[in-house]
Structure 1
């Protein structure tokens, strides 16, 4: 999974470097075109959501919450 994520990240970095934020395209699974800016906002939102879930799982495992470690 980590290798796949690395390939996706590299492809995203190339796209971000090559296109303006206002570039528009339509992914095959969407009915309407979206801008690169919209895609990046969605990516940030999904990454934050998954990172938050992993933080909850970690907390259930070791009892830590945020920056506070169990004493």
Structure 2
């Protein structure tokens, strides 16, 4: 089983029927998986912002 398949299987275990409680964060499998997902989204957004800054320096155009 590949890492992607394992990740998909673990993410499918998340109970999305109610919002997470802060007490759950990183202490249960569901809370931990939610924390990882949020962290990955945050990191992805940060790197996209850095790429925009680099592109703006190279070509001089800015976004709207």
Q: Give the TM-score taking structure 2 as reference length.
A: 0.60
Of 48, 52, 55, 1:51 maps to: 48
Q: TM-score, normalised by structure 1?
A: 0.55
Structure 2 gaps of 5+ residues are 16-27
1:20-60 deviation per Cα after TM superposition (whole angstroms, max 9, x unaligned): 236629xxxxxxxx511110100000000011011001000
Structure scoring higher RCO (CA < 8 A, sep ≥ 6) equals 2
How many residues get paired? 49
Question: 1:42 and 2:23 equivalent?
Answer: no
- Structure with greater proportional strand content: 1
Q: Which runs of 5+ in 1 are unaligned?
A: 1-9, 26-33
Could you tell me how far apart the structure 2 residues matched to 1:48 and 1:40 are? 12
